[in-house]
Amino acid sequence: MKAFLVIAAAFAAISVSACDSGGGDANTTTAEAPAATAPAASPPPASEPAPAPAEPAAELAGLAAPFASQADWTAACVADAKLDKSICECAGAATVKTLGDKALFTWVWEGYIQRSGMGQVRSKKWFTDNGVDTAGQQKFADEVGKCYVTQ
């Protein structure tokens, strides 16, 4: 408790002395007053024109935009998904047959061949955005399913 009082008293003494040292007392004359501050700085030079907005980020094929062709989709399917080329070719053809070229996204192999949850989420969004009903989704899934199921 004593330590707290000592610290509080020291703090109060420092605060009071700081307040007293900054102001003039009654004996100070105007000649002793501090000189006026320097003149105001000149305004900054005319600003340069704002930089042009950055060009939109290139859309990633298969994620933000469909692949340019079925051949590009197949090549990515083999390289990225590490799937057999025959499966990728078949799934690409099934996609184009049922949904068209506009559906050549990575979610096809992620959601319908590899059964990745994120691929399925992206496919549901794509189906909703493009107005594909449940029957159309099932038809697509059945066609792609023929590509990797052996009988």
**Which tens digits make up the pLDDT trace of 119-151?**
999 999 999 999 999 999 999 999 999 998 754
* Torsion 126-143-146-101 (CA) sign: negative
Position 92 in a domain: yes
Quote the domain boundaries for residue 126: 70-145
pLDDT of residue 148: 82
pLDDT of residue 7: 73
Q: CA-CA distance, 108 to 106, in Å (whole number)?
A: 5
3-state DSSP assignment of residue 43: coil
pLDDT in tens, 4-44: 666 766 666 666 555 555 555 555 555 555 555 556 666 55
Q: Interior CA angle at 111 toward 139 and 67, to 5°?
A: 85
113 alpha carbon, distance to own chain's centre = 28
User: Binning pLDDT at 50, 70 and 90, where does residue 58 land?
Assistant: very low
Q: CA-CA distance, 15 to 9, in Å (whole number)?
A: 10
Number of domains in the chain: 1
What does pTM read for this prediction?
0.60
Position 80 in a domain: yes
Position 55 in a domain: no
Position 131 in a domain: yes
Written in H, E and C, the secondary structure of 99-133 is CCHHHCCCHHHHHHCCCCHHHHHHHHHHHHHCCCC
